[in-house]
């Protein structure tokens, strides 16, 4: 891929959209920055080469201008000496060199246009590179904040889990305490009921003994006691 094709692709690219779709935005932005920097180096090299070519054309044009002036002077000298045919040949050479100057002027205009375009492209690419580097800084900050937020949420969730466990344990302990209190409260009742039942049996036997004794006393002849 040529440098200008890469340049056009870079300028046409939507960095934000590409980062949003990327699985690893930080890695992608590093790759984009590296490609931009490499393209920038190549553009600068091409621009420098074009500028050097413009200088060469200007030097050649200046030397031809000197030739035009020289043939002009020779034509004047030939006329002054009465050498009309020689003057004509000098003028022909002058026009030939003048045509070369016109060609060089067109070439120089195209060369200078390329330099101007290259400088404009460099400015655009440098601006794009600067923006991308700023996005890289912001992206790193966003990732740091995202990690912090994720950790905070994990800590909060963990704390909520601990709190839920603690509340469950407290509830469980409360239920166990209530069950124990119910068991303890039921013991006297059972014991009291059992005691009363035995007391009734014991009281009944005593009554029976007293009744038997009374019958025995009453059943005896009072005279036998006299």
In a domain, 77, yes or no: yes
Query: Tens digits of per-residue pLDDT, 197-213?
Result: 666 666 667 667 777 77
**Cα–Cα dist 163/150, whole Å:** 20
- pLDDT above 90 as % of the chain: 33
Domain assignment present for residue 117? The answer is yes
Q: Which residues of 186-210 are buried (b: 16+ CB within 10 A; e: fewer)?
A: eeeeeeeeeeeeeeeeeeeeeeeee
Q: Is 226 helix (H, G, I), strand (E, B) or coil?
A: coil
| For the chain, percent of residues with pLDDT exceeding 70 | 58
> What is the average pLDDT across 177-202?
60
pLDDT digits (tens, 9 = 90+) for 109-144: 999 999 999 899 899 889 888 888 887 777 766 665
Q: What is the mean pLDDT of residues 90-115?
A: 94
Domain membership of residue 142 (yes or no) is yes
104-117 pLDDT, tens digit per residue, is 999 999 999 999 99
Confidence of residue 225 (pLDDT cuts 50, 70, 90): very low
Per-residue pLDDT band for 189 (boundaries 50, 70, 90) equals very low
Whether residue 31 lies inside any domain: the answer is yes
Q: Quick check: is 201 in a domain?
A: no
Q: How far apart are CA 113 and CA 116, in angstroms?
A: 5
Mean pLDDT of 45-60: 94
Average pLDDT rounded to a whole number, residues 161-182: 68
CA-closest candidate to residue 21, choices 11, 13, 9: 13
Residue 108 lies inside a defined structural domain of this protein: yes
Q: Which of 129, 126, 127, 142 is nearest to 20 (CA)?
A: 142
Average the pLDDT over 75-95 and give the result.
Answer: 92
Residue 44: CATH number of its domain? 1.10.287
Across the range 43-54, mean pLDDT stands at 93
Question: Residue 20 to residues 17, 25, 29, 135, 145: CA-CA distances in angstroms?
Answer: 5, 7, 11, 12, 17
Number of compact structural domains in the chain: 1
- The answer to whether residue 111 is domain-embedded is yes
pLDDT band for position 63 (cuts 50, 70, 90): very high
Domain extent at residue 22:
3-158
Of 59-68, 116-125, 175-184, the one with minimum mean pLDDT is 175-184
174 domain-assigned: no
Average pLDDT over residues 93-101: 94
pLDDT greater than 50 at residue 11: yes
């Amino acid at each position: 891929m040529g440098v200008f094709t890469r340049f056009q692709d870079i300028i046409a690219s939507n960095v934000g959209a590409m980062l949003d779709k990327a699985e690893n935005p930080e890695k992608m932005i590093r790759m984009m920055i590296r490609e931009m920097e490499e393209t920038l180096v190549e553009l600068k090299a091409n621009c420098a080469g074009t500028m050097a070519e413009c200088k060469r054309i200007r030097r050649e044009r200046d030397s031809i201008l000197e030739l035009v002036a020289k043939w002009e002077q020779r034509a004047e000298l030939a006329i002054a000496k009465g050498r009309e045919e020689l003057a004509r040949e000098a003028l022909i050479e002058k026009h030939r060199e003048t045509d070369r100057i016109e060609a060089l002027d067109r070439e120089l205009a195209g060369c200078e246009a390329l330099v101007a375009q290259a400088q404009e492209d460099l400015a655009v690419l440098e601006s794009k590179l600067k923006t991308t580097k700023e996005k890289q800084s912001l992206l790193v900050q966003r990732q740091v904040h995202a990690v912090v937020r994720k950790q905070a949420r994990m800590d909060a969730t963990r704390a909520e889990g601990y709190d839920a466990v603690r509340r469950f344990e407290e509830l469980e302990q409360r239920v166990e305490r209530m069950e124990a209190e119910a068991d303890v409260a039921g013991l006297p009742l059972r014991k009291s009921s059992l005691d009363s039942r035995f007391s009734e049996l014991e009281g009944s036997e005593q009554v029976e003994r007293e009744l038997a004794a009374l019958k025995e006393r009453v059943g005896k002849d009072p005279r036998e006691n006299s």
